[in-house]
Structure 1
Amino acid sequence: MSPALVRLLHLVSPTLPVGAYTYSQGLEWVVETGAVKNEATALAWIDDCLQSGIARFEAVYLAHMLSAWENGDMAGLAELDAEFVASRESAELRAETLQMGFSLARLLTDLASFSAPTKMGFGQPSFPLAWSCAAAAWAIPAHDAIGGYLWAWAENQVMAAVKAVPLGQTAGQRMLLALGQRIPALAEEAAASPIEDTHNYLPAFAIACSRHETQYTRLFRS
């Protein structure tokens, strides 16, 4: 096992203390409406968001951030980060990426063995920016880093569905098996995509995230 793989497992671990488990990205509201009510509908929702949203947009930004870290392009990183934060469709999504980015950047700064660039001058980095910083510093190959990022997102969404629907643990594992089959190809495509070709057109996702902000009872912060 390579050191880079060990570090990737570290970054995608649910124990990474960035608070990801407290967010559902609108899934909780969709469950509240009854549109997601079982394993099949939960998988369909998460799969649509994975293929048409995060893999086509967030993962592409992550790929370009990884490249910018490798090239020492701080101006490019600042531009990518600003564009990504501006793309967040709701106040909760914006707060989520900034909170998780801040938490990860602070964690990396506090780790004595992390010698590279979190002392980077970004006061409130987005989560992809802080995550890509760690992946680049630990020399994780871009394709593996992007695939790991997508896996961590999918796992968090499945666990949110297990709690909110609710679903059994075996159902959650079946969903992860199905989603995991898509990730290698999606990661490869994201790694090769020009930033100009990204798209983030998911109206139902945006509505769900916005409506969650006024949901009466909530387990999750988004």
Structure 2
Amino acid sequence: MTTITTMNTTMTDPHALLTLTQWLSPSFPLGAFAYSHGLELAISEGAVRDAEGLESWLRMILTRGGGHVDACLLGMVLQGADAQEVGDLSEALAGSKERWAETFEQGQAFVKTVAQMGGPERAARALPVAVGEAARDLDLPDRTVIALYLHSFTSNLVSAGVRFVPLGQAAGQRVLATLHDEIERVSEAVLSATAETLTTGAFAADLNAARHEDMDVRIFKT
């Protein structure tokens, strides 16, 4: 890990951390704002109708659903797993057309933008795999990369909830802050993830992602 040592203080290279923060910023052109991860249907049907419901839904996503799966895949790549193999696994785990589009289209936009910024040309892959492959060059702690990825993932869904429930901005930020501990726990837990240990169990969210395709009126792609 690249570090800077000043007197008795050792810290992560700030330039690498700023680069990762930029990649995971809402301003990075992935089109993330257009995806709700099935949340739009949950809100439309009343399963999520307030801040407490949004927090509960997102906690499930982080611990048993797509957030957990993404964290596992990202951790595997950061720990040296073959990006092509993990990319294939990621696409195979997408339980619906929309779920595949959500992860692959954002990953495709990610590698394209990084290359246009002067980074290496890389094959388009699912988003967590693309981020993991690029983040290897930053030499940051794996847990830091995973935590910031999950924070970005969760923040985007909070934003979707704020817009569509609707919630006040402060309520949305309280939900996100409440989930920080969960993000830290998941980031730690997936450091030893492998293809054999990867599990998922957020069935309601998976079904919502599939049923969202048939909504007559929708404002999100997924």
Kindly provide the amino acid, as one letter, of the partner of residue 85 in structure 1: E
Q: Which residue of the partner structure matches residue 220 of structure 2?
A: 220
Higher helix share: 1
Q: Which residue of the partner structure matches residue 119 of structure 1?
A: 121
Q: Which residue of the partner structure matches residue 172 of structure 2?
A: 172
Given that residues 83 and 133 in structure 2 are in contact (C-alpha distance below 8 angstroms), is that contact kept between their aligned partners in structure 1? no
| Equivalent residue runs for 1:1-150 within 5 Å | 2-68=14-80, 76-112=82-118, 114=119, 118-120=120-122, 122=123, 124-150=124-150
- Secondary structure (helix, strand or coil) at the match of 2:75 reads helix
- Counterparts of 2:182 and 2:47, CA distance in 1: 23
- Counterparts of 1:135 and 1:143, CA distance in 2: 12
For structure 1, which runs of at least 5 residues remain unmatched after alignment? none
Given that residues 107 and 127 in structure 2 are in contact (C-alpha distance below 8 angstroms), is that contact kept between their aligned partners in structure 1? yes
Given that residues 55 and 187 in structure 1 are in contact (C-alpha distance below 8 angstroms), is that contact kept between their aligned partners in structure 2? no
For structure 2, which runs of at least 5 residues remain unmatched after alignment? 1-12
Shift of 1:3: 1.6
Given that residues 7 and 140 in structure 1 are in contact (C-alpha distance below 8 angstroms), is that contact kept between their aligned partners in structure 2? no
Kindly provide the amino acid, as one letter, of the partner of residue 6 in structure 1: L
Does residue 185 of structure 1 match 2:185?
yes
- Counterparts of 1:166 and 1:57, CA distance in 2: 28
The higher relative CO (CA closer than 8 Å, separation ≥ 6) is in 1
- Secondary structure (helix, strand or coil) at the match of 2:48 reads coil
Q: Which residue of the partner structure matches residue 196 of structure 2?
A: 196
Shift of 1:9: 1.4
Kindly provide the amino acid, as one letter, of the partner of residue 105 in structure 2: Q
- Counterparts of 1:143 and 1:161, CA distance in 2: 27
TM-score w.r.t. length of structure 2: 0.90
- Counterparts of 1:55 and 1:110, CA distance in 2: 27
- Counterparts of 1:151 and 1:169, CA distance in 2: 17
Query: What is the alpha-carbon root mean square deviation over aligned residues?
Result: 1.4
Shift of 1:139: 2.0
Shift of 1:149: 0.7
Change beyond 3 A, Cα 1:128–1:203 = same
- Counterparts of 2:25 and 2:68, CA distance in 1: 23
**1:150-207 superposed Cα distances (whole Å, 9 cap, x missing partner):** 1011101100100110000010011011111221121011112333111112210111
- Counterparts of 1:98 and 1:57, CA distance in 2: 14
Given that residues 67 and 153 in structure 2 are in contact (C-alpha distance below 8 angstroms), is that contact kept between their aligned partners in structure 1? no
Kindly provide the amino acid, as one letter, of the partner of residue 9 in structure 1: T
Kindly provide the amino acid, as one letter, of the partner of residue 121 in structure 2: K
Given that residues 55 and 190 in structure 1 are in contact (C-alpha distance below 8 angstroms), is that contact kept between their aligned partners in structure 2? no
Q: Percent identity?
A: 30
Shift of 1:55: 4.8
Given that residues 162 and 168 in structure 2 are in contact (C-alpha distance below 8 angstroms), is that contact kept between their aligned partners in structure 1? yes
- Counterparts of 2:183 and 2:126, CA distance in 1: 22
Q: Which residue of the partner structure matches residue 206 of structure 2?
A: 206
Q: How many aligned positions are there?
A: 210
- Secondary structure (helix, strand or coil) at the match of 1:213 reads helix
Deviates more, 1:55-64 or 1:43-52: 55-64
Shift of 1:136: 1.2
Deviates more, 1:76-85 or 1:192-201: 192-201
- Counterparts of 1:220 and 1:193, CA distance in 2: 31
